[in-house]
Amino acid sequence: MATGVNEPVCASCNSERGAFQCRGCSKVFCFQHTTNHHQSIIQELDAIEHSRNLLQSTLQQTMAESSANVKALHDELTKKIDMWEEKSVEKIRQAAADARNDLFQLTINRGIKIQSKLEDLTQQIQHARQKSNFLETDVHEWSKKLEDLKEQLTKVPLVTVCEDYTKLISKISVSGLHKSEIFGLSTGNAGFEDNGKVVYVKNGNDIYTEVRGQCEYFSGVHTIFLHVEEYAHWILFGIISKSTPLQIHSYASSSCYGWYNGVDFVYAAGVCIGGQGIDVIANDRVQLTIDCDNRLIRLVNERSGRALELAVDIEKCPFPWQLHLNLNAQPTRVRIISSGEEHKTLSC
């Protein structure tokens, strides 16, 4: 069929007159190719359905394969939560029992104690009389003791119950490990391995090196699990503001918050404020919690159980924060085992 000069031609054969326009692609087709075009769209849909079915069966297979592992993980972590619950309840029961005992001693048992003191005094006096072995000073002393006992007996005991607000029970939380932290920046004397999971000191001793992680923290609570694979001396663990420039003596950077080993080397806003440091030795695993919501960092040594906490002044260390280490000597090697944000918080 011949076409007029300005008439659109079929997009498929490029010769016949375009009879129908497709609203999907806006192209025009002749009678025959309109049918073909429709068919090709149906085929596309068929292909999509086919890959959906494939995905569905892969998903079912993967879920079936991993369900045993997921169940094992769930059961293992549930045990940990159960243990925490048991230990916490035990701590509360023990504290209450101690308090009841103290209360009993200071109230009910008080009369029995006075009674026992009076018996001691009686024996002393009787003994002295039998042996005729006493002086005037002894008589005065016994008289005073007797007066004391009388006074104790007549007074209402001064006793109260008070609450100490220091933590008796540690908080428990469940972390979903989604965002992965890796080491990414250093001032030079650090090497990275295993796609940034590992950092180590390259050359010599006493060459300070700042190392930072790649994640940026500005909200939520995040925990980074680290394994100190090799340790010579001096590792600072902490955070720093992303806005602070890197420098080798980064413990003195104005937004540095963290701990060195030992005592007296705790840094806040780049100033050594003293206090208890970390007790890391080679092969230790530590948990660094970056709590943006409560503006603090916490470090727990899994081996010793030592837990340290440092409040962060947001004026001195503005968000976003970054994982910050300062390394110094060979051999030093630290691995990020995992990291993640806490989604659910179970607190007591």
Residue 40 or 107: the one with the smaller Cβ distance to Zn ion is 40
DSSP reduced 3-state for 228: strand
Q: Which of 1, 2, 4, 24 binds Zn ion (CB under 5 A)?
A: 24
Q: Is the peptide bond before 8 cis (omega within 30 degrees of 0)?
A: no
Per CB under 5 A, 22 contacts Zn ion = yes
Per CB under 5 A, 34 contacts Zn ion = no
**CA–CA dist 295, 220 (Å, integer):** 10
Considering only the stretches 31-39, 82-90, 124-132, 287-295, report the one whose residues sit in contact with Zn ion under the rule CB under 5 A: 31-39
339: closest CA among 181, 217, 176, 211?
Answer: 181
**CA–CA dist 260, 218 (Å, integer):** 24
Contacts with Zn ion in 270-299 (CB under 5 A)?
A: none
Are 218 and 321 in contact by the 8 Å Cβ rule? The answer is yes
C-beta of 28: minimal distance to Zn ion in Å? Answer: 9
**CA–CA dist 278, 308 (Å, integer):** 8
**CA–CA dist 324, 217 (Å, integer):** 12
Considering only the stretches 29-37, 63-71, 217-225, 277-285, report the one whose residues sit in contact with Zn ion under the rule CB under 5 A: 29-37
Per CB under 5 A, 42 contacts Zn ion = no
Considering only the stretches 6-14, 60-68, 178-186, 335-343, report the one whose residues sit in contact with Zn ion under the rule CB under 5 A: 6-14
For tokens 């943006």, name the residue.
Answer: 292
Per CB under 5 A, 322 contacts Zn ion = no
Considering only the stretches 27-35, 62-70, 111-119, 319-327, report the one whose residues sit in contact with Zn ion under the rule CB under 5 A: 27-35
**CA–CA dist 198, 281 (Å, integer):** 17
User: For the chain, how are helix, strand and coil distributed in percent, rounded to 5?
Assistant: 35, 30, 35
Per CB under 5 A, 30 contacts Zn ion = yes
DSSP reduced 3-state for 75: helix
How many other C-beta atoms can be found within 10 angstroms of the C-beta atom of residue 59? 10
Per CB under 5 A, 25 contacts Zn ion = yes
Residue 8 or 318: the one with the smaller Cβ distance to Zn ion is 8
CA 209 to mean position of chain CA atoms: 25
Q: Which of 28, 33, 270, 280 binds Zn ion (CB under 5 A)?
A: 33
Residue 70, phi then psi, degrees to nearest 5: -65, -40
User: What dihedral angle (degrees, nearest 10) is formed by the CA atoms of 201, 203, 209, 212?
Assistant: -40
Residue 45 or 159: the one with the smaller Cβ distance to Zn ion is 45
C-beta of 8: minimal distance to Zn ion in Å? Answer: 11
C-beta of 35: minimal distance to Zn ion in Å? Answer: 10
Residue 33 or 212: the one with the smaller Cβ distance to Zn ion is 33
Q: Which letter does DSSP use for residue 302 in this model? A: T
Considering only the stretches 21-29, 65-73, 89-97, 186-194, report the one whose residues sit in contact with Zn ion under the rule CB under 5 A: 21-29
Considering only the stretches 12-20, 74-82, 92-100, 238-246, report the one whose residues sit in contact with Zn ion under the rule CB under 5 A: 12-20
Per CB under 5 A, 12 contacts Zn ion = yes
Residue 13 or 153: the one with the smaller Cβ distance to Zn ion is 13
C-beta of 48: minimal distance to Zn ion in Å? Answer: 16
Per CB under 5 A, 10 contacts Zn ion = yes
**CA–CA dist 334, 345 (Å, integer):** 28
Q: List residues near Zn ion by CB under 5 A.
A: 10, 12-13, 16, 22, 24-25, 30, 33
